[in-house]
Amino acid sequence: MGKLLSDQQVQGYHRNGFIAPVPVLSAAEAAQFLSRFEAYAGSREKRRGSAYDDEEGREFLRQPHRRARWAYELVNHPRVLDAIEDILGPDVMVWDAKLFPKPPHSLSYVGWHQDGTYSTAAPREHKVTAWIALTDATPENGAMQAIPGSHNWGQLEHVQSIDDHNLLRYGQSISTPFDASTAVDLSLQAGEMSMHHNMLIHGSPPNPSPTSRIGLSVNYISPDVIDKPDPERRVILARGNDRFGHFQLFDWPEGRRA
């Protein structure tokens, strides 16, 4: 048994490329984080004049853990880290994070893709993505979908396209044919998360429902991961030790409130 995950869950992750759901937040915690997200999103929308559901208003969704205290606290939440540690081991870093909100009746979607396609971080097996739900994520409001076992298929061909509704920054999507009918919905209740492998095929459809679907995607790595030099890249040593020194470390500045 791990800190949070059962042996069966860990085996399922390695077999299918994902596990879900994993309870990590209480109902009260999920509601509090959602409220803080809404305040964060509202302040940016008023200042910039753009909603987060269009390309011009999305920049603040990227790396929110470096902009807002609530997101920093969420990526470092002990129960989230317990589950990540059960996959990666005792040394855990926060490599990146991004918010994926879909308001009611949103046309926004995430194209079928593999996270590792546009990342040079290696080894790929030492990178895990957590998707933490701040609202319920259901098939009706655009929950994530995944192709079981597809993390074992190797790197598939992707293409970039211009589509304002694709929430992926580069508009990437898989061009290699595959059977999308085998996809499963990763339904989550607020406060639960999914975890998936860096090479898993996954995506999510639009949200035609009257309810919001809001979640935070966090990329965790072990410190032995190597990436190409990037002066803008800052990682958090969330747990354990960094014996490699491959990245510049980031911590929340003392005295800063947000």
Angle at 36 between CA 30 and CA 40, to 5 degrees: 140
| Res. 83: pLDDT tops 90 | yes
* CA atoms of 250 and 227, how far apart (whole Å): 16
| Range with lowest mean pLDDT among 9-23, 155-169, 204-218 | 155-169
Mean pLDDT within 198-205: 96
Tell me what pLDDT residue 45 has: 60
Give residue 121's pLDDT band: very low, low, confident or very high (50, 70, 90).
confident
User: Which of these, 144, 154, 84, lies nearest to 117 by C-alpha position?
Assistant: 154
> Which pTM does this prediction carry?
0.92
| Res. 49: pLDDT tops 90 | no
At 180, which amino acid appears? A
Helix or strand (DSSP H, E) at 82:
helix 78-88
Higher pLDDT, 253 or 15: 15
Higher pLDDT, 122 or 80: 80
Higher pLDDT, 14 or 117: 14
| Res. 46: pLDDT tops 90 | no
* CA atoms of 252 and 31, how far apart (whole Å): 23
- Mean pLDDT score of the chain: 90
- Percent of the chain whose pLDDT exceeds 90: 69
